[in-house]
Structure 1
Amino acid sequence: MRMIRDSKGRFPERPYYTNDELDRECEQLVWDLHRRRNQDPRPHITTDELHLLIELNGASLDSCADLSIYGQDVEGVTAFHPGEDPEVSISDRLANDPRRENRLRTTLAHEFGHVHFHRHLWAGKFQHGQLFDRKSPENTAICKRDTILQAREYDWMEWQAGYVCGAILMPVTQIRLLVSNYCQELNLHAAVPVGSDNGRRIVNAVMETFQVSREAAEVRLKVLKLLGESDHQGSLFG
Protein backbone atom coordinates (compact mmCIF):
# COMPACT_ATOMS: atom_id res chain seq x y z
CA MET A 1 0.00 0.00 0.00
CA ARG A 2 1.15 3.54 -0.68
CA MET A 3 -0.40 6.92 -0.06
CA ILE A 4 -1.34 9.11 -3.00
CA ARG A 5 -3.13 12.44 -3.42
CA ASP A 6 -6.87 12.25 -2.85
CA SER A 7 -8.28 13.75 -6.04
CA LYS A 8 -11.75 13.98 -4.44
CA GLY A 9 -10.34 16.31 -1.78
CA ARG A 10 -11.82 14.54 1.21
CA PHE A 11 -8.36 13.87 2.67
CA PRO A 12 -4.90 15.26 1.85
CA GLU A 13 -3.83 11.73 0.86
CA ARG A 14 -5.58 8.43 0.50
CA PRO A 15 -4.39 4.80 0.46
CA TYR A 16 -3.77 3.07 -2.84
CA TYR A 17 -4.01 -0.72 -2.69
CA THR A 18 -3.49 -3.16 -5.51
CA ASN A 19 -6.08 -5.89 -5.85
CA ASP A 20 -3.48 -8.45 -4.77
CA GLU A 21 -2.73 -6.48 -1.60
CA LEU A 22 -6.40 -6.34 -0.66
CA ASP A 23 -6.87 -10.03 -1.43
CA ARG A 24 -3.89 -11.08 0.68
CA GLU A 25 -4.84 -8.97 3.68
CA CYS A 26 -8.50 -9.99 3.62
CA GLU A 27 -7.63 -13.67 3.37
CA GLN A 28 -5.27 -13.28 6.32
CA LEU A 29 -7.97 -11.52 8.33
CA VAL A 30 -10.42 -14.39 7.78
CA TRP A 31 -7.73 -16.95 8.58
CA ASP A 32 -6.79 -15.07 11.77
CA LEU A 33 -10.43 -14.93 12.84
CA HIS A 34 -10.84 -18.70 12.53
CA ARG A 35 -7.55 -19.30 14.33
CA ARG A 36 -8.60 -16.94 17.12
CA ARG A 37 -11.74 -19.02 17.56
CA ASN A 38 -9.70 -22.28 17.51
CA GLN A 39 -11.27 -23.31 14.22
CA ASP A 40 -9.67 -24.73 11.12
CA PRO A 41 -9.48 -22.25 8.21
CA ARG A 42 -12.41 -22.71 5.83
CA PRO A 43 -13.79 -20.86 2.83
CA HIS A 44 -17.11 -19.81 4.34
CA ILE A 45 -17.36 -17.02 6.91
CA THR A 46 -20.67 -17.10 8.77
CA THR A 47 -22.94 -14.12 9.31
CA ASP A 48 -22.25 -14.21 13.04
CA GLU A 49 -18.52 -14.14 12.27
CA LEU A 50 -19.00 -11.06 10.11
CA HIS A 51 -20.56 -9.32 13.11
CA LEU A 52 -17.65 -10.51 15.24
CA LEU A 53 -15.08 -9.36 12.68
CA ILE A 54 -16.41 -5.80 12.90
CA GLU A 55 -16.49 -5.80 16.69
CA LEU A 56 -13.01 -7.33 17.03
CA ASN A 57 -11.71 -4.47 14.91
CA GLY A 58 -12.84 -1.96 17.51
CA ALA A 59 -16.19 -0.81 16.13
CA SER A 60 -19.64 -0.76 17.67
CA LEU A 61 -22.35 -2.40 15.59
CA ASP A 62 -26.07 -1.68 15.31
CA SER A 63 -27.32 -4.39 12.98
CA CYS A 64 -30.94 -3.18 12.96
CA ALA A 65 -30.89 0.58 12.46
CA ASP A 66 -33.36 2.97 10.87
CA LEU A 67 -31.23 4.57 8.14
CA SER A 68 -34.11 6.28 6.31
CA ILE A 69 -32.66 9.68 7.23
CA TYR A 70 -29.90 8.96 4.68
CA GLY A 71 -32.27 7.77 1.91
CA GLN A 72 -34.26 4.66 1.12
CA ASP A 73 -31.42 3.10 -0.86
CA VAL A 74 -28.86 3.30 1.98
CA GLU A 75 -28.12 -0.10 3.52
CA GLY A 76 -25.07 0.63 5.66
CA VAL A 77 -23.36 3.57 7.35
CA THR A 78 -20.01 3.76 9.12
CA ALA A 79 -19.49 6.88 11.24
CA PHE A 80 -16.20 8.07 12.72
CA HIS A 81 -15.85 10.31 15.76
CA PRO A 82 -12.84 11.83 17.52
CA GLY A 83 -11.68 9.76 20.47
CA GLU A 84 -14.35 7.10 19.97
CA ASP A 85 -14.76 3.78 18.21
CA PRO A 86 -16.33 3.79 14.73
CA GLU A 87 -20.07 3.15 14.65
CA VAL A 88 -21.42 0.72 12.07
CA SER A 89 -25.15 0.76 11.35
CA ILE A 90 -26.95 -1.75 9.15
CA SER A 91 -30.41 -1.09 7.75
CA ASP A 92 -33.27 -2.74 9.61
CA ARG A 93 -34.72 -3.67 6.21
CA LEU A 94 -31.94 -6.26 5.91
CA ALA A 95 -31.95 -7.47 9.50
CA ASN A 96 -35.72 -8.03 9.57
CA ASP A 97 -35.98 -10.03 6.33
CA PRO A 98 -34.41 -13.53 6.28
CA ARG A 99 -34.69 -13.51 2.48
CA ARG A 100 -32.12 -10.71 2.40
CA GLU A 101 -29.41 -12.47 4.41
CA ASN A 102 -27.00 -12.45 1.47
CA ARG A 103 -27.44 -8.67 1.15
CA LEU A 104 -26.93 -8.39 4.90
CA ARG A 105 -23.68 -10.34 4.56
CA THR A 106 -22.35 -8.17 1.74
CA THR A 107 -23.25 -5.01 3.66
CA LEU A 108 -21.52 -6.23 6.82
CA ALA A 109 -18.39 -7.12 4.85
CA HIS A 110 -18.48 -3.77 3.04
CA GLU A 111 -18.75 -1.77 6.26
CA PHE A 112 -15.92 -3.82 7.74
CA GLY A 113 -13.84 -2.59 4.81
CA HIS A 114 -14.38 0.99 5.93
CA VAL A 115 -13.59 0.18 9.57
CA HIS A 116 -10.38 -1.71 8.88
CA PHE A 117 -8.95 0.12 5.89
CA HIS A 118 -10.18 3.71 6.32
CA ARG A 119 -10.48 4.59 10.01
CA HIS A 120 -6.93 5.98 10.12
CA LEU A 121 -7.91 8.64 7.58
CA TRP A 122 -10.52 10.15 9.89
CA ALA A 123 -8.19 9.74 12.87
CA GLY A 124 -5.70 11.94 10.98
CA LYS A 125 -8.38 14.56 10.31
CA PHE A 126 -9.50 14.64 13.92
CA GLN A 127 -5.89 14.87 15.10
CA HIS A 128 -5.50 18.01 13.01
CA GLY A 129 -8.57 19.61 14.54
CA GLN A 130 -11.18 18.94 11.85
CA LEU A 131 -14.26 18.10 13.92
CA PHE A 132 -17.76 17.49 12.62
CA ASP A 133 -21.25 17.14 14.00
CA ARG A 134 -22.14 13.51 14.75
CA LYS A 135 -24.76 13.48 11.97
CA SER A 136 -22.54 15.23 9.43
CA PRO A 137 -21.86 13.36 6.15
CA GLU A 138 -18.30 14.61 6.49
CA ASN A 139 -17.49 11.94 9.06
CA THR A 140 -19.48 9.07 7.58
CA ALA A 141 -19.27 6.50 4.83
CA ILE A 142 -22.83 6.25 3.52
CA CYS A 143 -23.25 3.10 1.47
CA LYS A 144 -26.08 2.72 -1.02
CA ARG A 145 -27.37 -0.56 -2.36
CA ASP A 146 -26.02 0.04 -5.87
CA THR A 147 -22.47 0.73 -4.66
CA ILE A 148 -22.06 -1.96 -1.98
CA LEU A 149 -20.57 -4.29 -4.61
CA GLN A 150 -19.86 -2.17 -7.68
CA ALA A 151 -18.79 1.40 -7.04
CA ARG A 152 -16.91 3.25 -9.76
CA GLU A 153 -13.14 3.33 -9.26
CA TYR A 154 -13.12 7.15 -9.09
CA ASP A 155 -15.14 6.76 -5.87
CA TRP A 156 -12.08 5.09 -4.40
CA MET A 157 -13.36 4.66 -0.84
CA GLU A 158 -16.54 2.84 -1.86
CA TRP A 159 -14.63 0.88 -4.51
CA GLN A 160 -12.09 -0.34 -1.96
CA ALA A 161 -14.81 -1.31 0.52
CA GLY A 162 -16.66 -3.13 -2.28
CA TYR A 163 -13.53 -5.07 -3.21
CA VAL A 164 -12.93 -5.92 0.45
CA CYS A 165 -16.51 -7.18 0.64
CA GLY A 166 -15.85 -9.74 -2.08
CA ALA A 167 -12.43 -10.66 -0.72
CA ILE A 168 -13.76 -11.31 2.80
CA LEU A 169 -16.77 -13.34 1.67
CA MET A 170 -14.93 -15.23 -1.10
CA PRO A 171 -11.22 -15.50 -0.17
CA VAL A 172 -9.00 -15.49 -3.23
CA THR A 173 -7.22 -18.82 -2.71
CA GLN A 174 -10.44 -20.73 -2.09
CA ILE A 175 -12.41 -19.27 -4.98
CA ARG A 176 -9.53 -19.83 -7.40
CA LEU A 177 -9.23 -23.41 -6.17
CA LEU A 178 -12.95 -23.99 -6.69
CA VAL A 179 -12.81 -22.73 -10.29
CA SER A 180 -9.53 -24.50 -11.04
CA ASN A 181 -10.86 -27.84 -9.81
CA TYR A 182 -14.03 -27.45 -11.86
CA CYS A 183 -12.16 -26.52 -15.03
CA GLN A 184 -9.49 -29.19 -14.69
CA GLU A 185 -12.12 -31.86 -14.21
CA LEU A 186 -13.70 -30.85 -17.53
CA ASN A 187 -10.36 -30.13 -19.24
CA LEU A 188 -11.20 -26.45 -19.70
CA HIS A 189 -8.14 -24.24 -20.19
CA ALA A 190 -9.59 -20.81 -20.96
CA ALA A 191 -11.71 -18.51 -18.85
CA VAL A 192 -15.34 -19.58 -18.97
CA PRO A 193 -17.96 -17.11 -20.28
CA VAL A 194 -20.31 -16.07 -17.50
CA GLY A 195 -23.39 -16.77 -19.61
CA SER A 196 -22.38 -20.29 -20.66
CA ASP A 197 -23.64 -23.48 -19.02
CA ASN A 198 -20.31 -23.98 -17.30
CA GLY A 199 -20.27 -20.33 -16.24
CA ARG A 200 -23.68 -20.65 -14.60
CA ARG A 201 -22.60 -23.85 -12.83
CA ILE A 202 -19.49 -22.14 -11.47
CA VAL A 203 -21.55 -19.17 -10.28
CA ASN A 204 -23.99 -21.55 -8.56
CA ALA A 205 -21.10 -23.38 -6.88
CA VAL A 206 -19.68 -20.09 -5.59
CA MET A 207 -23.09 -19.01 -4.30
CA GLU A 208 -23.52 -22.29 -2.42
CA THR A 209 -19.95 -22.53 -1.09
CA PHE A 210 -19.64 -18.95 0.15
CA GLN A 211 -23.30 -18.07 0.86
CA VAL A 212 -23.42 -15.06 -1.44
CA SER A 213 -25.87 -13.69 -3.98
CA ARG A 214 -25.61 -14.34 -7.71
CA GLU A 215 -24.57 -10.73 -8.26
CA ALA A 216 -21.78 -10.95 -5.66
CA ALA A 217 -20.50 -14.23 -7.12
CA GLU A 218 -20.47 -12.89 -10.68
CA VAL A 219 -18.74 -9.64 -9.70
CA ARG A 220 -16.02 -11.48 -7.78
CA LEU A 221 -15.42 -14.03 -10.55
CA LYS A 222 -15.17 -11.29 -13.18
CA VAL A 223 -12.86 -9.10 -11.09
CA LEU A 224 -10.50 -12.05 -10.62
CA LYS A 225 -10.83 -12.85 -14.34
CA LEU A 226 -12.06 -16.35 -13.56
CA LEU A 227 -15.15 -15.77 -15.67
CA GLY A 228 -15.32 -13.67 -18.81
CA GLU A 229 -17.94 -11.90 -20.87
CA SER A 230 -17.25 -13.83 -24.09
CA ASP A 231 -15.63 -16.98 -25.45
CA HIS A 232 -12.41 -15.10 -26.30
CA GLN A 233 -10.61 -15.11 -22.95
CA GLY A 234 -7.06 -15.75 -21.88
CA SER A 235 -5.71 -18.78 -20.09
CA LEU A 236 -6.84 -19.48 -16.56
CA PHE A 237 -3.51 -20.97 -15.65
CA GLY A 238 -1.02 -18.84 -17.58
Structure 2
Amino acid sequence: MPWYARDTTGRLPARPVFAKGEIEKLCTATVRQFLEDLYGRARFPLETEDLKKLIERDTSDFDEFADLSAEGEDVEGFTDFFPDRLPVVRIDSKLAENPRRERRLRMTLAHEYGHVLLHAPLWRKDAGPVMPEQPAPVNGLAMPPELPVDHKPARHDVDWMEWQANYAAGALLMPYHAVADVLSEINHSADQTAEDHDRVLIAGVTEHFIVSWSAATVRLRQLGVLRRPRRLSRR
Protein backbone atom coordinates (compact mmCIF):
# COMPACT_ATOMS: atom_id res chain seq x y z
CA MET A 1 0.00 0.00 0.00
CA PRO A 2 1.22 3.54 -0.62
CA TRP A 3 2.38 5.84 2.12
CA TYR A 4 1.40 9.48 2.15
CA ALA A 5 3.38 12.70 2.03
CA ARG A 6 2.40 16.35 2.03
CA ASP A 7 1.07 17.45 -1.34
CA THR A 8 3.09 20.55 -2.18
CA THR A 9 0.90 21.24 -5.23
CA GLY A 10 -1.96 22.18 -2.90
CA ARG A 11 -4.29 19.87 -4.79
CA LEU A 12 -4.84 17.55 -1.81
CA PRO A 13 -3.87 17.55 1.88
CA ALA A 14 -1.62 14.54 1.23
CA ARG A 15 -0.46 12.60 -1.80
CA PRO A 16 0.17 8.85 -2.17
CA VAL A 17 3.74 7.68 -2.71
CA PHE A 18 3.71 4.30 -4.46
CA ALA A 19 6.59 1.89 -4.71
CA LYS A 20 7.33 0.84 -8.27
CA GLY A 21 6.39 -2.73 -7.46
CA GLU A 22 3.00 -1.62 -6.17
CA ILE A 23 2.11 0.10 -9.41
CA GLU A 24 3.44 -2.86 -11.40
CA LYS A 25 1.31 -5.31 -9.43
CA LEU A 26 -1.84 -3.23 -9.58
CA CYS A 27 -1.56 -2.58 -13.32
CA THR A 28 -0.71 -6.20 -14.13
CA ALA A 29 -3.55 -7.58 -12.01
CA THR A 30 -6.06 -5.09 -13.42
CA VAL A 31 -5.25 -5.77 -17.07
CA ARG A 32 -4.99 -9.53 -16.60
CA GLN A 33 -8.35 -9.79 -14.86
CA PHE A 34 -10.02 -7.53 -17.40
CA LEU A 35 -8.75 -9.58 -20.36
CA GLU A 36 -9.60 -12.87 -18.69
CA ASP A 37 -13.13 -11.64 -18.05
CA LEU A 38 -13.37 -10.49 -21.68
CA TYR A 39 -11.70 -13.38 -23.51
CA GLY A 40 -11.11 -16.11 -20.96
CA ARG A 41 -7.37 -15.45 -21.06
CA ALA A 42 -4.94 -12.56 -20.95
CA ARG A 43 -3.25 -11.78 -24.24
CA PHE A 44 -0.77 -9.09 -25.17
CA PRO A 45 -0.30 -6.63 -26.67
CA LEU A 46 -3.35 -4.95 -25.19
CA GLU A 47 -5.52 -3.96 -28.14
CA THR A 48 -6.42 -0.29 -28.45
CA GLU A 49 -10.15 -1.07 -28.47
CA ASP A 50 -9.77 -3.20 -25.34
CA LEU A 51 -7.97 -0.33 -23.63
CA LYS A 52 -10.94 1.89 -24.47
CA LYS A 53 -13.31 -0.73 -23.04
CA LEU A 54 -11.28 -0.78 -19.83
CA ILE A 55 -11.59 2.99 -19.53
CA GLU A 56 -15.32 2.82 -20.24
CA ARG A 57 -15.75 0.24 -17.49
CA ASP A 58 -14.19 2.40 -14.79
CA THR A 59 -15.46 5.86 -15.73
CA SER A 60 -18.82 7.61 -15.72
CA ASP A 61 -18.11 9.08 -19.15
CA PHE A 62 -15.45 8.53 -21.81
CA ASP A 63 -15.15 10.88 -24.78
CA GLU A 64 -12.43 9.99 -27.27
CA PHE A 65 -13.40 12.76 -29.70
CA ALA A 66 -13.24 15.73 -27.35
CA ASP A 67 -12.06 19.26 -28.06
CA LEU A 68 -9.39 19.90 -25.44
CA SER A 69 -8.11 23.17 -26.86
CA ALA A 70 -9.40 25.03 -23.80
CA GLU A 71 -7.23 22.88 -21.52
CA GLY A 72 -3.95 23.91 -23.14
CA GLU A 73 -2.17 23.75 -26.47
CA ASP A 74 -0.41 20.44 -25.82
CA VAL A 75 -3.11 18.67 -23.79
CA GLU A 76 -4.17 15.42 -25.51
CA GLY A 77 -5.97 13.75 -22.62
CA PHE A 78 -7.76 14.91 -19.49
CA THR A 79 -9.32 13.18 -16.48
CA ASP A 80 -11.80 14.82 -14.11
CA PHE A 81 -12.43 13.40 -10.63
CA PHE A 82 -15.57 13.62 -8.52
CA PRO A 83 -16.47 12.66 -4.93
CA ASP A 84 -19.81 11.10 -5.84
CA ARG A 85 -19.21 9.36 -9.17
CA LEU A 86 -16.59 7.73 -11.33
CA PRO A 87 -14.09 9.90 -13.24
CA VAL A 88 -14.63 11.39 -16.68
CA VAL A 89 -11.91 10.82 -19.29
CA ARG A 90 -11.58 12.94 -22.42
CA ILE A 91 -9.18 12.37 -25.32
CA ASP A 92 -8.51 15.02 -27.92
CA SER A 93 -10.13 14.19 -31.25
CA LYS A 94 -6.88 14.87 -33.13
CA LEU A 95 -5.49 11.58 -31.78
CA ALA A 96 -8.48 9.34 -32.40
CA GLU A 97 -9.10 10.71 -35.89
CA ASN A 98 -5.54 10.15 -37.14
CA PRO A 99 -4.59 6.46 -37.63
CA ARG A 100 -0.93 7.45 -37.96
CA ARG A 101 -0.96 8.56 -34.32
CA GLU A 102 -2.14 5.25 -32.89
CA ARG A 103 0.99 4.79 -30.75
CA ARG A 104 0.51 8.22 -29.23
CA LEU A 105 -3.18 7.51 -28.73
CA ARG A 106 -2.41 4.24 -26.93
CA MET A 107 -0.01 5.92 -24.53
CA THR A 108 -2.45 8.76 -23.88
CA LEU A 109 -5.29 6.32 -23.18
CA ALA A 110 -3.07 4.32 -20.84
CA HIS A 111 -1.88 7.48 -19.11
CA GLU A 112 -5.42 8.67 -18.43
CA TYR A 113 -6.42 5.22 -17.20
CA GLY A 114 -3.41 5.39 -14.89
CA HIS A 115 -5.04 8.44 -13.33
CA VAL A 116 -8.32 6.54 -13.01
CA LEU A 117 -6.67 3.54 -11.40
CA LEU A 118 -4.30 5.32 -9.02
CA HIS A 119 -5.92 8.65 -8.28
CA ALA A 120 -9.71 8.35 -8.48
CA PRO A 121 -9.86 6.86 -4.95
CA LEU A 122 -8.30 10.05 -3.58
CA TRP A 123 -11.45 11.95 -4.46
CA ARG A 124 -13.79 9.32 -3.04
CA LYS A 125 -14.65 8.43 0.52
CA ASP A 126 -13.96 4.72 0.15
CA ALA A 127 -10.58 3.05 0.63
CA GLY A 128 -7.75 3.22 -1.88
CA PRO A 129 -6.70 0.39 -4.21
CA VAL A 130 -5.80 -2.97 -2.71
CA MET A 131 -2.58 -4.40 -4.06
CA PRO A 132 -2.58 -8.07 -5.10
CA GLU A 133 0.24 -10.34 -4.00
CA GLN A 134 3.51 -9.95 -5.84
CA PRO A 135 4.00 -12.48 -8.65
CA ALA A 136 7.27 -14.32 -9.09
CA PRO A 137 9.90 -13.15 -11.60
CA VAL A 138 9.22 -14.26 -15.17
CA ASN A 139 11.96 -15.44 -17.52
CA GLY A 140 14.58 -13.95 -15.24
CA LEU A 141 13.08 -10.45 -15.35
CA ALA A 142 12.39 -9.43 -11.76
CA MET A 143 10.02 -6.78 -10.52
CA PRO A 144 11.48 -3.29 -10.19
CA PRO A 145 12.84 -2.61 -6.71
CA GLU A 146 10.49 -1.42 -4.01
CA LEU A 147 11.52 2.21 -4.29
CA PRO A 148 8.98 5.02 -4.34
CA VAL A 149 7.88 5.51 -7.92
CA ASP A 150 8.49 9.23 -7.61
CA HIS A 151 11.82 8.88 -5.80
CA LYS A 152 13.89 10.95 -8.21
CA PRO A 153 16.09 14.05 -8.26
CA ALA A 154 14.09 17.09 -7.19
CA ARG A 155 12.44 18.81 -10.12
CA HIS A 156 9.95 21.53 -9.43
CA ASP A 157 8.32 21.12 -12.84
CA VAL A 158 7.29 17.49 -12.28
CA ASP A 159 3.72 16.89 -11.10
CA TRP A 160 3.46 13.76 -8.93
CA MET A 161 0.12 12.74 -10.46
CA GLU A 162 1.52 12.99 -13.99
CA TRP A 163 4.67 11.10 -13.04
CA GLN A 164 2.73 8.24 -11.49
CA ALA A 165 0.27 8.08 -14.41
CA ASN A 166 3.18 7.95 -16.86
CA TYR A 167 4.69 5.02 -15.00
CA ALA A 168 1.32 3.26 -14.90
CA ALA A 169 0.87 3.78 -18.65
CA GLY A 170 4.06 1.87 -19.36
CA ALA A 171 3.11 -0.91 -16.96
CA LEU A 172 -0.36 -1.24 -18.48
CA LEU A 173 0.77 -1.38 -22.10
CA MET A 174 4.00 -3.30 -21.43
CA PRO A 175 3.50 -5.52 -18.35
CA TYR A 176 6.83 -6.76 -17.05
CA HIS A 177 5.92 -10.44 -17.55
CA ALA A 178 4.88 -9.80 -21.17
CA VAL A 179 8.06 -7.80 -21.79
CA ALA A 180 10.07 -10.72 -20.37
CA ASP A 181 8.39 -13.09 -22.82
CA VAL A 182 9.20 -10.84 -25.77
CA LEU A 183 12.81 -10.35 -24.71
CA SER A 184 13.29 -14.11 -24.30
CA GLU A 185 12.47 -14.58 -27.99
CA ILE A 186 14.89 -11.94 -29.27
CA ASN A 187 18.13 -13.39 -30.56
CA HIS A 188 21.32 -11.73 -29.41
CA SER A 189 24.71 -11.84 -31.02
CA ALA A 190 27.62 -12.44 -28.66
CA ASP A 191 29.67 -9.76 -30.38
CA GLN A 192 26.99 -7.08 -30.26
CA THR A 193 27.97 -3.75 -28.81
CA ALA A 194 25.96 -2.50 -25.86
CA GLU A 195 24.26 0.07 -28.07
CA ASP A 196 23.32 -2.50 -30.72
CA HIS A 197 22.05 -4.83 -28.00
CA ASP A 198 19.83 -2.09 -26.61
CA ARG A 199 18.54 -1.07 -30.04
CA VAL A 200 17.48 -4.64 -30.82
CA LEU A 201 15.54 -4.87 -27.55
CA ILE A 202 13.90 -1.47 -27.98
CA ALA A 203 12.90 -2.29 -31.56
CA GLY A 204 11.37 -5.59 -30.46
CA VAL A 205 9.32 -4.01 -27.70
CA THR A 206 8.27 -1.11 -29.94
CA GLU A 207 6.96 -3.46 -32.62
CA HIS A 208 5.27 -5.99 -30.33
CA PHE A 209 3.48 -3.60 -27.98
CA ILE A 210 2.64 -0.92 -30.58
CA VAL A 211 4.33 1.88 -28.68
CA SER A 212 6.80 4.58 -29.65
CA TRP A 213 10.56 4.14 -29.58
CA SER A 214 10.71 6.60 -26.69
CA ALA A 215 8.05 4.75 -24.67
CA ALA A 216 9.80 1.40 -25.19
CA THR A 217 13.13 2.92 -24.17
CA VAL A 218 11.71 4.37 -20.97
CA ARG A 219 10.01 1.09 -20.09
CA LEU A 220 13.11 -1.05 -20.62
CA ARG A 221 15.16 1.41 -18.61
CA GLN A 222 12.61 1.15 -15.78
CA LEU A 223 12.99 -2.63 -15.85
CA GLY A 224 16.78 -2.42 -15.79
CA VAL A 225 17.25 -4.20 -19.10
CA LEU A 226 19.26 -1.70 -21.14
CA ARG A 227 23.04 -1.77 -20.94
CA ARG A 228 23.61 1.87 -21.80
CA PRO A 229 21.99 4.64 -19.74
CA ARG A 230 21.95 7.29 -22.43
CA ARG A 231 19.16 7.78 -24.93
CA LEU A 232 19.46 5.82 -28.18
CA SER A 233 18.15 6.88 -31.56
CA ARG A 234 16.71 4.52 -34.16
CA ARG A 235 19.58 5.31 -36.58
Give the TM-score category using the shorter length.
0.7 to 0.9
Give the whole-Å Cα distance in 2 for the aligned partners of 1:118 and 1:226. Answer: 29
Q: Deviations over 1:135-166 (max 9, x none)?
A: xxxxxxxxxxxxxxxxx695211111000000
Give the whole-Å Cα distance in 2 for the aligned partners of 1:51 and 1:100. Answer: 16
Change (3 A) 1:22 1:82: closer
1:109 and 2:110 correspond? yes
Q: Which amino acid aligns with 1:217?
A: A
Does the 8 Å CA contact 2:52/2:109 hold for their aligned counterparts?
Answer: yes
Give the whole-Å Cα distance in 2 for the aligned partners of 1:230 and 1:156. Answer: 23
The structure richer in helix per residue is 1
Q: Deviations over 1:80-108 (max 9, x none)?
A: 23423211000111011110011000000
For 2:186, the equivalent position in structure 1 comes to 182
Change (3 A) 1:167 1:230: closer
Does the 8 Å CA contact 2:28/2:175 hold for their aligned counterparts?
Answer: yes
RMSD: 2.4
Give the whole-Å Cα distance in 2 for the aligned partners of 1:31 and 1:38. Answer: 10
Give the whole-Å Cα distance in 2 for the aligned partners of 1:13 and 1:202. Answer: 39
Aligned pair count reads: 200
For 1:160, the equivalent position in structure 2 comes to 164
**Residue correspondence of structure 1 range 86-101 to structure 2 within 5 A:** 86-101=87-102
- What are structure 1's unaligned runs of at least 5 residues? 125-151, 232-238
Does the 8 Å CA contact 2:86/2:120 hold for their aligned counterparts?
Answer: no
Give the whole-Å Cα distance in 2 for the aligned partners of 1:62 and 1:46. Answer: 18
**Residue correspondence of structure 1 range 68-79 to structure 2 within 5 A:** 68-79=69-80
Instruction: Name the SS of the counterpart of 1:117 in structure 2.
Output: helix
**Identical aligned pairs, as a percentage?**
40
Give the whole-Å Cα distance in 2 for the aligned partners of 1:230 and 1:107. Answer: 25
Give the whole-Å Cα distance in 2 for the aligned partners of 1:18 and 1:200. Answer: 28
1:172 and 2:176 correspond? yes
Cα displacement (A) at 1:59? 3.6
For 2:32, the equivalent position in structure 1 comes to 31
Give the whole-Å Cα distance in 1 for the aligned partners of 2:210 and 2:75. Answer: 22
1:4 and 2:1 correspond? no
Change (3 A) 1:230 1:213: closer
Does the 8 Å CA contact 2:198/2:228 hold for their aligned counterparts?
Answer: no
Give the whole-Å Cα distance in 1 for the aligned partners of 2:74 and 2:177. Answer: 33
Higher alpha-carbon deviation: 33-42 or 109-118: 33-42
Give the whole-Å Cα distance in 2 for the aligned partners of 1:63 and 1:206. Answer: 26
For 1:229, the equivalent position in structure 2 comes to 228
Give the whole-Å Cα distance in 1 for the aligned partners of 2:108 and 2:229. Answer: 30
For 1:52, the equivalent position in structure 2 comes to 53
Cα displacement (A) at 1:180? 4.1
Q: Which amino acid aligns with 1:97?
A: N
- What are structure 2's unaligned runs of at least 5 residues? 126-154, 231-235
Give the whole-Å Cα distance in 2 for the aligned partners of 1:92 and 1:222. Answer: 31
Q: Which amino acid aligns with 1:75?
A: E
